[in-house]
């Protein structure tokens, strides 16, 4: 059974009441974080309003709470605390004024600095108490910090103990999503992201409607996005919606990876990994698209030529690498322009996306000129593919049929910027912006003003994702489901 617990942490009793009632809409269990209240008040009214089982928590600051509390204050609180479904007692609270009903106690230990080297001993200390449930929360700095957490869950299951084990932080997200399927008594989620009571918590709504946490089991096929950063990605929205639409038991999660080599050795490669999980496929994004090549058993020739892999399939114990960026990039272009043969194309940027774009354009017999702010990088990429290059600052695009933006200009923090104005685009037939957040970038608006056809980066994003899905599942996804889920995640 999957339980989602939503902690509520408010300064006033009125705000606590409101938040607790709201939490009941998406939570199976509500945690009342009493340490967040600035003034302690009678809790009976709040408890009478909560229609879910309640965990009562009174956490001292040094264990991640919001209050300076000495032992005496904590003992006093628990001595008169109302009985709820569970009390969360920190493991150092060896005695409380009145003997608790241990069958309703979660004994907890938090480490916000990392994964303690004596984690096993800590687990054993918790397990030696009569508490019904053991809780261990550690801070993940890398995805591999999830391993000891999953191992604790395995051990607790083997020993028939109820346990909650979490790796906090973005790198630990897998423990929050997969934990219940691996025996965790519950997983924590927040009402709104800005209300997180621990790093890395996502909303209960997302846990249910994007990741379908209630439906994940040990047979679930697992896919994920390897990169840094990955939390902002819309890929989980697309792939999870496509799994569901195809009625497949699959889940796709962000995997925040710093050290690719260790990740592949300890978590991915079936010959060396330390985790028994049904890992089927990976998407790879910046900055790891080239770094992963050396860990693969086989790489398709196109990906080798491009020098980047964005898709990995794990099959028969081996790792196979593909590049779906190039085909995903070309698909919307061919739809819009029919043929690229002989077209004069300006590619702006000299990074990973530009590399796949140039490779694909040359395969379709276009004539390419590279424009980059860094002349050395433009020259280096230009020489790889034997295409001409120019400095972006002095660019005129008048002699080109097609202009492609493969830089972050116009996206994210650079939302107000554009690599070309309507004046610079006069006479250009089509403008394609690979950036997709926002969907309609400033460049695309400038292009419309100049009378050019436009192609959105979202088209490429969905096209390359559709090809990844097919490689992992052998099935064609619903492209409209993928498109709509991505667009909605981007606020459309």
Cβ at position 432, least distance to ligand NAP in Å = 9
**Binders of ligand NAP among 339-368, rule CB under 6 A?**
349-354
Q: Which of 100, 250, 281, 457 binds ligand NAP (CB under 6 A)?
A: 457
Residue nearest to ligand NAP (CB): 351
- Check 11, 98, 160, 289 and give the catalytic one: 289
Strand order in the sheet with 367-372: 388-391, 367-372, 344-348, 402-405, 430-433, 453-456
Cβ at position 372, least distance to ligand NAP in Å = 5
Q: What is the spatial distance between Cα 365 and Cα 411, in angstroms, rounded to a whole number?
A: 29
Cβ at position 351, least distance to ligand NAP in Å = 2
3-state secondary structure of 253: strand
* Binding string, residues 296-335; x marks residues near ligand NAP by CB under 6 A: -----------------------------x----------
Q: What is the spatial distance between Cα 484 and Cα 492, in angstroms, rounded to a whole number?
A: 9
**Bridge partners of residue 146, in order along the sequence:** none
Would you count residue 53 as binding ligand NAP (CB under 6 A)?
Answer: no
- In eight-state DSSP terms, residue 34 is G
Q: What are phi and psi of 162, to 5 degrees?
A: -75, 135
CB contact at 8 A, 403 and 425: yes
Q: Judged by CB under 6 A, which stretch of 55-63, 171-179, 275-283, 457-465 contacts ligand NAP?
A: 457-465
Q: Cis peptide before 438, with omega less than 30 degrees from 0?
A: yes
Q: What is the spatial distance between Cα 120 and Cα 279, in angstroms, rounded to a whole number?
A: 26
Q: What is the 3-state secondary structure (H, E, C) of 142-178?
A: CHHHHHHHHHHHHHHHHCCCEEEEEEECHHHHHHHHH
* Binding string, residues 401-440; x marks residues near ligand NAP by CB under 6 A: -----xxxx-x--x-------------------xxx----
Pairing of strands 388-391, 367-372: parallel
Using left for φ > 0, alpha for ψ between -120 and 50, and beta otherwise, residue 200 falls in: left
Q: Which of 63, 181, 187, 464 binds ligand NAP (CB under 6 A)?
A: 464
Cβ at position 487, least distance to ligand NAP in Å = 13
Pairing of strands 4-8, 105-111: unpaired
Size of the site for ligand NAP (CB under 6 A): 26
In terms of CB distance, is 207 or 238 closer to ligand NAP?
A: 238
What are 294's two structure tokens?
């050396």
Cβ at position 329, least distance to ligand NAP in Å = 7
Q: What is the spatial distance between Cα 198 and Cα 168, in angstroms, rounded to a whole number?
A: 7
In terms of CB distance, is 32 or 234 closer to ligand NAP?
A: 234
In terms of CB distance, is 7 or 236 closer to ligand NAP?
A: 236
Would you count residue 485 as binding ligand NAP (CB under 6 A)?
Answer: no
Cβ at position 146, least distance to ligand NAP in Å = 26
**Binders of ligand NAP among 368-407, rule CB under 6 A?**
372-374, 377, 392, 406-407
In terms of CB distance, is 140 or 434 closer to ligand NAP?
A: 434
DSSP string, 63-115: GT-SB---HHHHHHHHHHPPP-SEEEEETT----SS---GGGEEEEEEESSS-
Q: What is the spatial distance between Cα 314 and Cα 170, in angstroms, rounded to a whole number?
A: 24
In terms of CB distance, is 172 or 457 closer to ligand NAP?
A: 457
Cβ at position 307, least distance to ligand NAP in Å = 12
Burial of 167 (0-12, 13-18, 19+ CB in 10 A): buried
In terms of CB distance, is 105 or 406 closer to ligand NAP?
A: 406
Q: Judged by CB under 6 A, which stretch of 215-223, 235-243, 453-461, 468-476 contacts ligand NAP?
A: 453-461
Known catalytic membership, residue 135: no
In terms of CB distance, is 385 or 436 closer to ligand NAP?
A: 436
In terms of CB distance, is 13 or 439 closer to ligand NAP?
A: 439
Cβ at position 118, least distance to ligand NAP in Å = 41
Which residues does the annotation mark as catalytic? 289
Residues that bind ligand NAP (CB under 6 A): 286, 325, 349-354, 372-374, 377, 392, 406-409, 411, 414, 434-436, 457, 460-461, 464
């Amino acid at each position: 059974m999957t339980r989602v617990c939503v902690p509520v942490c408010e300064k006033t009793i009125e705000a606590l009441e409101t938040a607790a009632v709201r939490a009941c809409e998406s939570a199976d269990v509500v945690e009342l974080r009493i340490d967040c209240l600035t003034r302690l008040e009678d809790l009976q009214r709040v408890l009478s309003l909560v229609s879910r089982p309640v965990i009562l928590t009174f956490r001292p600051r040094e264990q991640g709470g919001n209050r300076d509390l000495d032992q005496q204050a904590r003992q006093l609180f628990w001595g008169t605390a109302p009985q709820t479904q569970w009390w969360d007692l920190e493991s150092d609270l060896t005695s409380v004024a009145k003997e608790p009903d241990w069958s309703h106690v979660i004994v907890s230990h938090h480490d916000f600095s990392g994964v303690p080297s004596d984690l096993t001993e800590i687990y054993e200390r918790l397990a030696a108490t009569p508490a019904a449930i053991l809780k261990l929360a550690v801070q993940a700095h890398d995805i591999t910090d999830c391993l000891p957490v999953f191992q604790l869950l395995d051990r607790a299951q083997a020993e028939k103990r109820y346990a909650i084990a979490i790796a906090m932080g973005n790198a630990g997200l897998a423990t929050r999503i997969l934990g219940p399927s691996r025996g965790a008594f519950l997983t924590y989620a927040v009402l709104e992201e800005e209300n997180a009571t621990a790093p890395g918590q996502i909303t209960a709504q997302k846990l249910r409607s994007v990741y379908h946490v209630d439906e994940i089991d040990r047979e679930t096929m697992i896919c994920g996005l390897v990169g840094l950063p990955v939390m902002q990605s819309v890929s989980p929205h697309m792939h999870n919606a496509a799994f569901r639409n195809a009625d497949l038991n699959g889940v796709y999660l962000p995997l925040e990876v710093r050290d690719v080599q260790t990740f592949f050795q300890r978590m991915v490669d079936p010959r060396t990994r330390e985790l028994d999980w049904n890992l089927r496929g990976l998407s790879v994004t910046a900055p790891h698209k080239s770094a992963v090549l050396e860990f693969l058993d086989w790489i398709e020739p196109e990906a080798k030529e491009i020098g980047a892999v964005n898709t990995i399939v794990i099959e028969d114990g081996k790792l196979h690498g593909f590049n779906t960026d190039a085909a995903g990039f070309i698909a919307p272009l061919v739809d819009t322009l029919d043929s690229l043969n002989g077209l004069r194309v300006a590619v702006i940027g000299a990074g990973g996306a530009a590399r796949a774009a140039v490779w694909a354009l040359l395969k379709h017999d276009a004539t390419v000129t590279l424009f980059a702010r860094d002349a050395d990088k433009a020259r280096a990429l230009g020489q790889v593919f034997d295409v001409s290059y120019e400095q972006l600052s002095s660019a005129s695009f008048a002699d080109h049929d097609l202009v492609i933006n493969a830089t972050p200009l116009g996206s994210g923090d650079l939302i107000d910027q554009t690599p070309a104005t309507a004046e610079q685009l006069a006479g250009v037939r089509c403008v394609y912006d690979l950036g997709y957040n926002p969907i309609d970038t400033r460049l695309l608006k400038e292009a419309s003003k100049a009378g050019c056809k436009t192609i959105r980066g979202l088209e490429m994003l969905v096209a390359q994702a559709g090809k990844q899905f097919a490689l992992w599942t052998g099935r064609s996804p619903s492209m409209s489901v993928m498109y709509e889920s991505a667009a909605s995640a981007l606020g459309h």
